[in-house]
């Protein structure tokens, strides 16, 4: 032990481990004496000595490590702060804070909390660590050496599993009935059992300590499994580790969150054998922004992006760069090719909409591509996952309901074998994209559980003792094949796909990939193989995916709102869309959900221009895309726009025809026990000009509901 100290001694902290509390206190005494702080510190130390230890002592495991000098030091810190967190920068730069945390971070947190409670005169406030560093000090896969034992570290992690909060016993107090002496036993978090005081420790007293429930002290706690972020891991599946959160951090995170944490690396020695398990005691937490906020964009790149945003063709250029090997040559008579519409839909989806006027509506854009094999739909859809900072591809044929949403399981690594919630693909890809391939092959249960995240951005899970609502604001791009592999151009679109109408109604844009014979388009598709054509789309006219990701990251920083002119056009277009879908009977198949799609797409268009205002051109672009989609998928047999085809699987005209066919059968059935189909065909043609094949379609829908059928014909069900 030194007889004297110099100001340089505080820098020896990295060379000597551990520093004893005694040396630290001696050094503090010397420091205050040299800086003439003795009087102030003596007053603070006296305030600590006179304080109610039972009232202000922090809730912790193991014997308290609080001393008067350390508490006095922390009191000087809190007197100059309005908040209740220790800044990470202070841990690195303020010598005595750095010393305390390097020596014993558990003691440092206890002393900081005790001092905070004294200064605030609040026995329930707790100190935490905040303003965590941009770059973590280590990763989970590197926590495997003694240098981390009981040290303070910072990490960037994903919450992969989370238990419900629960009371955890940290202290047992008892009293001797013979001498009235009170004794306390502090609990070991990893012991797996309760340690109670037994015989009285007072000399010449042979009494036994009595403990009742009122002297069992609990702290609210929560268990978690945290996983390395991919960017800090060298493994395909990043390593994870168990962690605990105590108040006030409990219930501040949910499964799937990506957060920065400050934690004390503890050793769980409750496991059998010579080797303990590492465990993190989280003492600070900063919630990270979405993944696009973490995309690194240099000043030069931002300047380039801002210049490109002035290009009137930037929207087209970005869209063309998505799956660039797929031709977007339109077929004669079409304003949009299906491939061009799909690429623009992906670009709109990546950028997304934004909050406006505090209206609580979803801002992510869902898109659906349906068509036969080798039409390019999967390649374009996969581009969304490749460009998004967080994108997950799921094969609907092999996934499960819990794999998409969340599961509740027992986590054996938690000492109490707790039930925990683990997020599925939609939770893990929050603020990103999930690509559902082969949606038509999904079980009914999978389709049912997708309604919540696709419409509300949440996953709700209730099981065991857990009720959780997890954030899943995740955009969906889905693909499917028609029932007969390829589209029949003469049959209604919804009747050719095996997707329930309630699911179809949750997509903002639906693009059918129809393999039509077109000589000019076929020439364009095959031209890449022509002799002398060395055109490489990755090196010439197109942006690479890394650059598109950066562009999108910048675009998502904008929060455009309507101007008076653009809102008037938005309102006019929505009303026009409603009017176009109105049938003679007054049925209107376009509703507010379609207006929301128009809003989201208009905002996405403005964001691509890096504008804080939604312009007329943005509303026009959004409307053109919606109309192109509806004309492809929601025209009835008369060429009328009818969104009812998607919302209910049946257009207004189809419903009308079905009712007319029923009335014919009902009338004929009054004179005939069985109505032959030829009689129905004749009446339908004469009265309503309905062709035979549509009469058959109506009869097929009516049988089992209002009509019965046998070998001779049809009749009305009584």
**Angle formed at CA 250 by CA 244 and CA 253, multiple of 5 degrees:** 90
Q: Give the residue, 409 or 299, on which the prediction is more confident.
A: 299
CA 278 to chain centre: 28
Crossing angle for the helix pair 95-103 and 105-120, to the nearest 10 degrees: 130
Among 11-25, 266-280, 591-605, the range scoring the smallest mean pLDDT is 11-25
Token duo for residue 628: 């192109």
Q: Is 50 exceeded by the pLDDT of residue 305? A: yes
Q: Is the dihedral of CA 644, 646, 648, 649 positive or negative?
A: positive
Report the range of poorest mean pLDDT among 19-23, 49-53, 462-466.
Answer: 19-23
Residue 467 reports pLDDT greater than 80: no
Contacts of 600 (CB under 8 A, 6+ apart): 348, 352, 353, 362, 363, 364, 365, 508
Instruction: Please indicate whether residue 548 or residue 691 has the higher confidence score (pLDDT).
Output: 548
Residue 643 reports pLDDT greater than 70 = no
At 61, the pLDDT band (50, 70, 90 cuts) reads low
Say how far apart CA 250 and CA 245 lie, in whole Å: 6
Average confidence (pLDDT) over 36-43: 66
Residue 442 to residue 500: CA distance in whole angstroms: 11
- Beta carbons of 472 and 430 less than 8 angstroms apart: yes
pLDDT-derived band at 671 (thresholds 50, 70, 90) equals: confident
Please compute Rg for the chain using Cα positions: 34
* 91-105, 177-191, 348-362: the lowest-pLDDT one: 177-191
Angle, alpha carbons 482-486-489 (nearest 5°):
100
Burial class of residue 94 in the structure, from the number of CB atoms within 10 Å of its CB (0-12 exposed, 13-18 middle, 19+ buried): middle
Q: Are 363 and 405 in contact (CB under 8 A)?
A: no
What does the alpha-carbon distance between residue 636 and residue 634 come to, in Å, rounded to a whole number? 6
Q: ∠ CA(487), CA(488), CA(490), 5° rounding? A: 140
Task: State CA 466 to chain mean position distance.
Answer: 19
Q: What is the pLDDT of residue 694?
A: 78
DSSP H helices, 87-223, are 88-93, 95-103, 105-120
pLDDT at 646: 57
CA-closest candidate to residue 217, choices 246, 251, 177, 250? 246
| 249-264 pLDDT per residue, tens | 988 888 878 899 999 9
Beta-sheet pairing, 216-228 with 152-163: antiparallel
CA distance 51 to 56: 8
pLDDT at residue number 228 = 87
Would you call 617 exposed, middle or buried from its count of C-beta atoms within 10 A (0-12, 13-18, 19+)?
middle
Orientation angle between helical segments 338-351 and 377-387, nearest 10 degrees: 20
Residue 144 has pLDDT above 90, yes or no: no
Q: What is the mean pLDDT of residues 637-642?
A: 55
Distance (Å, rounded) from C-alpha 3 to C-alpha 374?
Answer: 83
How far, in Å, CA of 206 to CA of 48, rounded? 34
Can you tell me the mean pLDDT for 419-447? Answer: 85
pLDDT tens for 207-224 read 887 877 667 778 888 888
pLDDT of residue 446: 84
Average pLDDT over residues 327-341: 71
Environment class of 181 (CB within 10 Å of its CB; exposed 0-12, middle 13-18, buried 19+): middle
Do the beta carbons of residue 324 and residue 537 sit within 8 Å?
yes
Partnered with residue 714 across adjacent β-strands are 675, 709
pLDDT of 690 above 60: yes
DSSP per-residue string spanning 419-464: EEEEE-HHHHTTTSEEEEETGGGS-HHHHHHHHHHHHHSEEEEEET
- Would you say the C-alpha torsion 37, 42, 47, 48 has a positive or negative sign? positive
Using CA atoms, how far apart are residues 474 and 426, in angstroms rounded to an integer?
6
pLDDT for the residue 3: 45
Q: For residues 517-540, give the mean pLDDT.
A: 52
Whole-Å CA distances, 491 to 318, 377, 496, 659: 34, 21, 7, 20
- Quote the pLDDT of residue 299: 93
- Mean local confidence (pLDDT), 54-74: 78
Q: What is the rounded (10 degree) CA torsion for 337, 343, 349, 350?
A: -160
The pLDDT of residue 383: 95
**Dist. CA 449–CA 432, nearest whole Å:** 19
Mean pLDDT over each residue of the chain, to the nearest integer: 80
Least confident of 29-38, 98-107, 143-152, 554-563: 29-38
Longest dimension (CA), the chain: 120
Q: How far is CA 260 from the centre of its chain?
A: 16
Residue 272 has pLDDT above 60, yes or no: no
Q: When comparing pLDDT for 463 and 79, which is higher?
A: 79
- Check whether 103 has a pLDDT greater than 70: yes
Least confident piece of the model among 53-62, 78-87, 313-322, 564-573: 53-62
Please report the DSSP string for 457-510 in residue order: SEEEEEETTEEEEEE---EEEEEE--TTSS--TTS-SGGGS---HHHHTT-SEE
Residue predicted with more confidence, 25 or 572: 572
Tokens of 225: 């499994």
pLDDT at 639: 54
235-244, 291-300, 515-524, 592-601: least confidently modelled range: 515-524
| Structure tokens, 598 | 């128009």
pLDDT at 86: 94
Q: Which two tokens stand for residue 142?
A: 């590197």
**Cα separation of 299 and 296, whole Å?**
10
Q: Is the pLDDT of residue 370 over 50?
A: yes
| Residue 171: per-residue pLDDT | 79
Band (9; pLDDT cuts 50, 70, 90): very low
- pLDDT at residue 357 tops 80: no
pLDDT of 431: 87
Q: Please give the model's pTM, rounded to 2 decimal places.
A: 0.67
CB-count burial class (<10 Å; 0-12, 13-18, 19+) for 128: buried
* Tokens 């591809």 found at: 393
Rounded Cα gap, residues 424 and 684, in angstroms: 52
Q: What is the pLDDT of residues 391-412, one digit of tens each?
A: 889 998 888 888 888 777 665 5
> CA separation (Å) from 655 to 463, 635, 718?
42, 14, 21
Residue 336 tokens read as 């949009």
Confidence band (pLDDT; 50, 70, 90) for 635? low
Q: How many CB atoms lie within 10 A of CB 289?
A: 9
- Cα-based torsion angle of the residue sequence 522, 524, 528, 533 in order, rounded to the nearest 10 degrees: 130
């Amino acid at each position: 032990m030194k007889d004297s100290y110099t100001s340089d001694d505080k820098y020896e902290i990295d060379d000597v481990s551990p520093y004893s509390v005694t040396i630290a206190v001696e050094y503090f005494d010397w420091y205050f004496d040299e800086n003439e702080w003795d009087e102030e510190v003596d007053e603070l130390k006296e305030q600590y000595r006179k304080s109610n230890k039972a009232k202000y002592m922090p809730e912790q495991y193991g014997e308290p490590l609080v001393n008067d000098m350390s508490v006095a030091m922390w009191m000087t810190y809190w007197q100059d702060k309005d908040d209740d967190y220790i800044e990470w920068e202070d841990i690195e730069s303020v010598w005595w804070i750095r010393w305390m945390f390097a020596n014993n971070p558990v003691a440092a947190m206890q002393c900081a909390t005790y001092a905070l409670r004294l200064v605030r005169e609040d026995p329930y406030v707790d100190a935490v660590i905040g303003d965590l560093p941009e770059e973590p000090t280590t990763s989970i896969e590197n926590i495997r050496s003694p240098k981390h034992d009981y040290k303070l570290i910072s990490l960037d992690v994903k919450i992969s599993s989370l238990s419900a909060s629960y009371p955890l016993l940290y202290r047992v107090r008892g009293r001797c009935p013979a001498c009235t002496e009170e004794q306390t036993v502090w609990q070991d978090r990893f012991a797996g059992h309760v340690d109670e005081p037994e015989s009285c420790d007072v000399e010449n007293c042979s009494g036994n300590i009595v403990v009742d429930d009122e002297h069992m002290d609990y702290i609210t706690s929560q268990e978690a499994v945290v996983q390395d972020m991919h960017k800090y891991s060298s493994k395909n599946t990043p390593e994870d580790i168990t962690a605990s959160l105590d108040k006030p951090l409990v219930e501040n995170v949910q499964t799937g969150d990506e957060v920065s944490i400050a934690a004390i690396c503890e050793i769980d020695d409750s496991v059998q054998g010579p080797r303990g398990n590492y465990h993190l005691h989280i003492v600070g937490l900063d919630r990270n922004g979405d993944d696009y906020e973490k995309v690194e964009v240099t000043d030069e790149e931002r300047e380039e992006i801002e210049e490109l945003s002035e290009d009137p063709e930037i929207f087209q250029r970005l869209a063309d760069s998505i799956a660039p090997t797929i031709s977007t040559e339109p077929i004669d008579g079409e304003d949009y090719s299906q491939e061009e519409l799909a690429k623009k839909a992906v670009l709109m989806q990546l950028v997304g909409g934004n909050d406006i006027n505090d209206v609580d509506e979803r801002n992510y854009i869902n898109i659906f591509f349906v068509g036969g094999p080798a039409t390019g739909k999967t390649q374009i859809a996969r581009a969304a996952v490749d460009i998004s900072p967080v994108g997950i591809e799921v094969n609907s044929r092999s996934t499960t309901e819990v794999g998409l949403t969340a599961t509740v399981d027992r986590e054996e690594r938690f000492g109490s074998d707790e039930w925990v919630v683990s997020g599925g693909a939609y939770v893990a890809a929050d603020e990103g994209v999930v690509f559902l391939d082969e949606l038509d092959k999904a079980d009914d249960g999978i389709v049912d559980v997708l309604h919540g995240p696709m419409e509300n951005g949440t996953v709700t899970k209730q099981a065991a003792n857990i009720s959780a609502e997890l954030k899943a604001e995740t955009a969906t791009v889905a693909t499917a094949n028609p029932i007969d592999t390829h589209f029949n151009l003469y049959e209604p679109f919804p009747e050719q796909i095996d997707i329930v109408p309630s699911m179809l109604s949750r997509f903002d844009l639906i693009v059918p990939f129809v393999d039509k014979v077109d000589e000019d388009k076929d020439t364009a598709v095959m031209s890449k193989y022509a002799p002398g054509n060395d055109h490489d789309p990755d090196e010439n006219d197109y942006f690479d995916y890394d650059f598109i990701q950066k562009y999108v990251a910048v675009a998502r920083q904008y929060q455009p709102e309507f101007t008076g002119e653009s809102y008037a056009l938005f309102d006019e277009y929505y009303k026009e869309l409603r009017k176009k879908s109105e049938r003679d009977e007054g049925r209107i198949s376009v509703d507010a959900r379609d207006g929301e799609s128009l809003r989201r797409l208009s905002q996405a268009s403005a964001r691509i221009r890096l504008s804080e205002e939604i312009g007329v051109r943005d509303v026009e672009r959004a409307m053109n895309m919606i109309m192109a989609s509806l004309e492809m998928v929601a025209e009835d047999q008369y060429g009328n726009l009818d969104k009812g085809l998607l919302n209910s699987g049946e257009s207004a005209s189809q419903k009308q025809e079905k009712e007319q066919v029923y009335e014919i059968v009902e009338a004929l059935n009054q004179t005939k026990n069985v109505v032959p189909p030829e009689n129905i065909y004749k009446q339908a043609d004469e009265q309503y000009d309905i062709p035979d094949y549509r009469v058959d379609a109506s009869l097929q829908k009516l049988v089992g509901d209002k009509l019965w059928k046998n070998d001779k014909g049809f009749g009305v069900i009584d």
